[in-house]
């Protein structure tokens, strides 16, 4: 660092929106019946993403931009897309590193996935990042910061150097004055974890702290300076990016004032985690080591139960009431997993001998989805240039089915409690779309597997299959 006798402030924004589009057409139905905005992406862009982009905030914070959201912004808000990329390139030019973090592609809860799916999610997320920014990601934000050692090993194999975790995901007490730790991995590698400060997060994110964020000077004096009394250290705030302007009105202005004026006036230099890592740990990693709690997350004290079984009345995390009581989650996980396994088996059996390596091809297929290469070039690179048109069509359809089957496990499908939500119903819609692709390719119909499982899935007394039918009709109206 230019000087170790400094205090630094790093703000991390997790920017993400769940997929809302029709799985075949990509169109989003009208979600907001009144007002000038047709859907929540448009609304949140106006309230949050555009003001932050216009204020240059994306060059002052560490952030991840989920591929679902980034693709929508690129197509529907090109001015925001331009400003975000401009901030990334300016930061990279000034400091030799990007402020942006990558994100596993579908925002799935990685500890709940198979090792193959973990690898696919990391590979796809990194490919999307490279396509979007033209840079190689050094840091990765994990969905819900859900983590296990296998996930960290896979990330390290792909060259990821650091991630962000909550303090309660560590075994032991985190030094909040210097919250960067080395995690030694079973594969002989290591990864750096930056642990955010719980007190700062609550002050920025919770409704009861409104008075603290009306004035950035008040926040700097009453929160930052009181919690960080040493002459050196790193204070980390990590929250949903939508906190700034969407969840809380005017908090985008607070953030701008905090990072451009107030923090500096109170002795804190704003910095991104990539820059901090690049200047302090690029040659020598942190001397302090720590172990993590496998299967832990930032949004549930009980780890990943919120997305797997639910119904844990002992979970006491504020704002986590959705995981209380009987839940559809286990039944839906037990429905989707065998369906996914069958799709994988069909994909492997039908493409072995056509593709040089089916699973390597599956990793690379995201380049077609993102527009990085044409389908024709992709198929040629995978050894299909001399194959029949029928073989190419079968391969194309099964790759599309595999892509959709990955989307079934998006975290928001399992996040909510026992109120009917479009995110959950849409997960079933995506499963149906994957089944349709498999049927078109092979004439094998996996519908009975899905329907048998869904018969056990009830949300507030309603059958999930019926809810998915309503969701399909709503999405089809947009198509």
- Kindly state whether residue 357 falls inside one of the protein's structural domains: yes
Same domain? For 130 and 14 the reply is: yes
pLDDT tens for 164-197 read 999 999 999 999 899 999 999 999 999 999 999 9
Same domain? For 182 and 259 the reply is: yes
Same domain? For 386 and 435 the reply is: yes
Residue 15's pLDDT is 98
Residue 314's pLDDT is 45
**First CA to last CA across the chain, in angstroms?**
53
Which residue in 187, 180, 151 sits closest to 282, CA to CA?
180
What's the mean pLDDT in 192-210? 85
Same domain? For 187 and 232 the reply is: yes
Residue 227 has pLDDT above 50, yes or no: yes
How far apart are the C-alpha atoms of 477 and 479, rounded to whole Å?
5
If one counts the domains in the chain, the total is 2
Residue 321 has pLDDT above 60, yes or no: no
Check residues 432 and 418 and name the one with the higher pLDDT: 432
pLDDT tens for 75-110 read 999 999 999 999 999 999 999 999 999 999 999 999
pLDDT tens for 357-388 read 999 999 999 999 999 999 999 999 998 888 99
What's the mean pLDDT in 294-303? 88
Contact 310, 329 (CB under 8 A): yes
Residue with tokens 């909040």: 176
What's the mean pLDDT in 442-460? 89
Q: What is the DSSP string of 264-297?
A: HHTTEEE--HHHHHHHHTSSS--S-B-EE-TTB-
What's the mean pLDDT in 296-315? 76
Same domain? For 287 and 333 the reply is: no
pLDDT tens for 266-284 read 999 999 999 999 999 989 9
Residue 299's pLDDT is 84
Residue with tokens 């009431």: 321
How far apart are the C-alpha atoms of 160 and 369, rounded to whole Å?
23
pLDDT tens for 420-443 read 678 888 899 999 999 999 999 999
pTM of the model: 0.94
Go through the chain and tell me how many residues it has: 479
Residue 418 has pLDDT above 80, yes or no: no
Same domain? For 196 and 343 the reply is: no
Query: Three-state SS for 328?
Result: coil
Same domain? For 106 and 231 the reply is: yes
Residue 306 has pLDDT above 90, yes or no: no
- Kindly state whether residue 198 falls inside one of the protein's structural domains: yes
pLDDT tens for 120-144 read 999 999 999 999 999 999 999 999 9
* All residues at 6 or more sequence positions from 158 whose CB lies less than 8 Å from its CB, including other chains: 122, 123, 126
Same domain? For 102 and 237 the reply is: yes
The domain boundary, picked from 292, 317, 343, lies at 292
- Kindly state whether residue 109 falls inside one of the protein's structural domains: yes
Q: What percent of the chain has pLDDT over 90?
A: 71
Same domain? For 33 and 131 the reply is: yes
- Kindly state whether residue 433 falls inside one of the protein's structural domains: yes
Range of the domain at 185: 7-292
Position 416 confidence tier, pLDDT thresholds 50, 70, 90: confident
At what angle are helices 389-407 and 329-351 packed, to 10 degrees? 160
CATH of the domain at 224: 3.20.110.20
Residue 447's pLDDT is 95
pLDDT tens for 3-36 read 466 899 999 999 999 998 888 888 888 887 678 8
Residue 208's pLDDT is 59
- Kindly state whether residue 320 falls inside one of the protein's structural domains: no
Same domain? For 331 and 453 the reply is: yes
- Kindly state whether residue 443 falls inside one of the protein's structural domains: yes
Residue 250's pLDDT is 86
Q: Which two tokens stand for residue 318?
A: 């504020």
Which residue in 209, 266, 263, 265 sits closest to 236, CA to CA?
263
- Kindly state whether residue 1 falls inside one of the protein's structural domains: no
Which residue in 268, 246, 223, 285 sits closest to 60, CA to CA?
268
- Kindly state whether residue 192 falls inside one of the protein's structural domains: yes
Residue 1's pLDDT is 57
Check residues 227 and 182 and name the one with the higher pLDDT: 182
3 burial type by CB count under 10 A (0-12 exposed, 13-18 middle, 19+ buried): exposed
Which residue in 239, 235, 272 sits closest to 8, CA to CA?
235
């Amino acid at each position: 660092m230019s000087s170790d006798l400094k205090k630094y402030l790093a703000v991390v924004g997790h920017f993400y929106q769940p997929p809302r589009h029709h799985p075949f057409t990509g169109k989003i139905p009208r979600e907001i019946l009144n007002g000038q905005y047709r859907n929540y992406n448009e609304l949140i862009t106006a309230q949050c993403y555009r003001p932050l982009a216009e204020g240059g905030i994306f060059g002052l914070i560490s952030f991840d931009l989920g591929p679902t959201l980034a693709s929508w912004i690129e197509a529907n808000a090109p001015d925001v897309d331009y400003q975000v990329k401009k901030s990334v390139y300016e930061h990279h030019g000034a400091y030799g590193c990007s402020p942006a973090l990558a994100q596993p592609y579908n925002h799935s809860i990685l500890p709940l996935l198979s090792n193959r799916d973990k690898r696919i999610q990391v590979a796809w997320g990194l490919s999307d990042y490279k396509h979007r920014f033209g840079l190689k990601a050094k840091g990765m934000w994990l969905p819900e910061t859900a983590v296990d050692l296998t996930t960290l090993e896979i990330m390290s194999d792909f060259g990821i150097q650091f991630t962000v975790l909550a303090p309660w995901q560590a075994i032991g007490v985190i030094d909040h004055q210097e919250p960067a730790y080395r995690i030694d991995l079973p594969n002989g590698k290591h990864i750096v974890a930056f642990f955010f400060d719980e007190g700062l997060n609550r002050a920025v994110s919770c409704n009861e702290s409104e008075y603290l964020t009306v004035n950035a000077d008040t926040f700097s004096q009453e929160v930052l300076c009181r919690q960080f009394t040493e002459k050196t250290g790193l204070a980390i705030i990590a929250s949903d990016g939508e906190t700034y302007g969407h969840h809380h009105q005017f908090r985008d202005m607070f953030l701008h004032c905090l990072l451009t004026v107030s923090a500096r006036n109170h002795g804190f230099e704003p910095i991104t985690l990539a820059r901090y890592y690049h200047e302090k740990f690029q040659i020598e990693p942190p001397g302090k080591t720590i172990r993590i709690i496998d299967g832990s997350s930032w949004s549930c004290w009980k780890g990943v139960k919120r997305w797997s079984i639910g119904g844990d009345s002992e979970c006491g995390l504020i704002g986590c009431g959705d995981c209380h009581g009987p839940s559809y989650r286990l039944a839906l996980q037990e429905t989707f997993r065998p369906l996914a396994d069958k799709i994988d088996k069909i994909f492997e059996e039908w493409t072995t001998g056509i593709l040089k390596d089916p699973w390597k091809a599956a990793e690379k297929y995201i380049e077609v989805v993102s527009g990085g290469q044409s389908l024709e070039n992709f198929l040629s690179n995978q050894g299909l240039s001399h194959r029949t048109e029928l073989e190419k069509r079968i391969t194309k359809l099964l790759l599309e089915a595999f892509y959709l089957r990955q989307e079934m496990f998006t975290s928001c499908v399992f996040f909510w409690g026992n109120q009917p939500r479009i995110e959950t119903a849409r997960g079933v819609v995506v499963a149906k779309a994957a089944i349709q692709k498999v049927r078109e390719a092979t004439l094998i119909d996996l519908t009975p597997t899905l329907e048998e499982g869904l018969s056990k899935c009830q949300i507030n007394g309603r059958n999930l299959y019926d809810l998915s039918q309503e969701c399909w009709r709503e999405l089809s109206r947009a198509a």
